[in-house]
Structure 1
Amino acid sequence: MPHNDTAPSVRPLALAIDVGGTKVEAALVDDRARVIDGTRHRAPTGAENSAEAIADAVRRVIDETLASAPTGARILGAGIGSAGPIDIGRGTVSPLNLAVWRGFPLAALVSEQSGIADPVLRLDGLCILLAEHWAGALQGYRTAMGMVVSTGIGGGLLVEGRLVGGRSGNAGHLGQIQLHTHGGGGRDLSVTLEGIAAGPRIVNWAKEQGWQGNTGEDLATSYRENDPIAVAAVRRCARAVGEGIASVCALVDLEAVAIGGGFSRVTPDLFDLIREAIDEVAPLDTIAGVQILPSALSDEGPLIGAAGLIHRADLLP
Structure 2
Amino acid sequence: MPRDLIAALDIGGTKIAGALVDGSGKLVARARRATPAQEPGETVMREVTAVLDELSGSAQWSRVAAVGIGSAGPVDASVGTVSPVNIPGWRDFPLVAGVRETAGELPLALVGDGVAMTAAEHWQGAARGRTGALCMVVSTGVGGGLVLNGRLHPGPTGNAGHIGHISVDLDGDPCPCGARGCVERIASGPNIARRALEGGWRPGPGGDTSAAAVAASARTGDPVARASFERAAQALAAGIAATATLVEIEVAVVGGGVAGAGDVLFAPLRRALRDYATLSFVSGLEVVPAQMGTDAGLVGAAAAAAQQAGLDGFGTPSQELGRPRPDRARTPAS
TM-score normalized by the length of structure 2: 0.80
Deviates more, 1:186-195 or 1:92-101: 186-195
Is the contact made by 1:129 and 1:157 (CA closer than 8 Å) also made in structure 2?
yes
**Matched residue type, 1:188:** G
Q: Deviations over 1:73-104 (max 9, x none)?
A: 62222100122222212100122343432111
> In the alignment, what sits opposite 2:160?
171
**Matched residue type, 1:33:** G
> In the alignment, what sits opposite 2:32?
41
Aligned-residue offset at 1:11: 7.7
Q: Deviations over 1:16-44 (max 9, x none)?
A: 111234433222211111122x6152524
Aligned-residue offset at 1:184: 9.6
Residue 289 of structure 2 is aligned to residue 294 of structure 1: yes
SS of structure 2 residue aligned to 1:29:
strand
Residue 49 of structure 2 is aligned to residue 59 of structure 1: yes
Matches for 1:234-249 after TM superposition, within 5 Å: 234-249=229-244
Aligned-residue offset at 1:132: 1.5
> In the alignment, what sits opposite 1:102?
91
> In the alignment, what sits opposite 1:74?
63
Matches for 1:280-291 after TM superposition, within 5 Å: 280-291=275-286
Aligned-residue offset at 1:70: 5.8
Q: Distance in 2 between matches of 1:239 and 1:120?
A: 34
Q: Distance in 2 between matches of 1:65 and 1:207?
A: 45
Q: Deviations over 1:222-256 (max 9, x none)?
A: 33333333222222222211111011011111111
Q: Distance in 1 between matches of 2:195 and 2:12?
A: 22
Q: Deviations over 1:170-212 (max 9, x none)?
A: 3212111111114699963451111221222222332333433
Aligned residue pairs, count? 306
Q: Distance in 1 between matches of 2:305 and 2:136?
A: 21
* 5+ long unaligned stretches in structure 2: 312-327
Aligned-residue offset at 1:304: 0.6
Matches for 1:133-172 after TM superposition, within 5 Å: 133-172=122-161
Is the contact made by 2:219 and 2:264 (CA closer than 8 Å) also made in structure 1?
no
Deviates more, 1:105-114 or 1:249-258: 105-114
Q: Distance in 1 between matches of 2:39 and 2:271?
A: 39
Residue 306 of structure 2 is aligned to residue 311 of structure 1: yes
Aligned-residue offset at 1:306: 0.3
**Matched residue type, 2:237:** G
Is the contact made by 2:81 and 2:94 (CA closer than 8 Å) also made in structure 1?
yes
Q: Distance in 1 between matches of 2:222 and 2:35?
A: 32
Deviates more, 1:135-144 or 1:16-25: 16-25
Residue 82 of structure 2 is aligned to residue 93 of structure 1: yes
Q: Distance in 2 between matches of 1:167 and 1:298?
A: 27
Q: Distance in 2 between matches of 1:49 and 1:200?
A: 24
Deviates more, 1:231-240 or 1:107-116: 107-116
Q: Distance in 2 between matches of 1:12 and 1:188?
A: 43
Q: Distance in 1 between matches of 2:195 and 2:3?
A: 48
Is the contact made by 2:78 and 2:156 (CA closer than 8 Å) also made in structure 1?
no
Q: Deviations over 1:105-143 (max 9, x none)?
A: 111222225556452112222222221221111122111
Is the contact made by 1:197 and 1:241 (CA closer than 8 Å) also made in structure 2?
yes
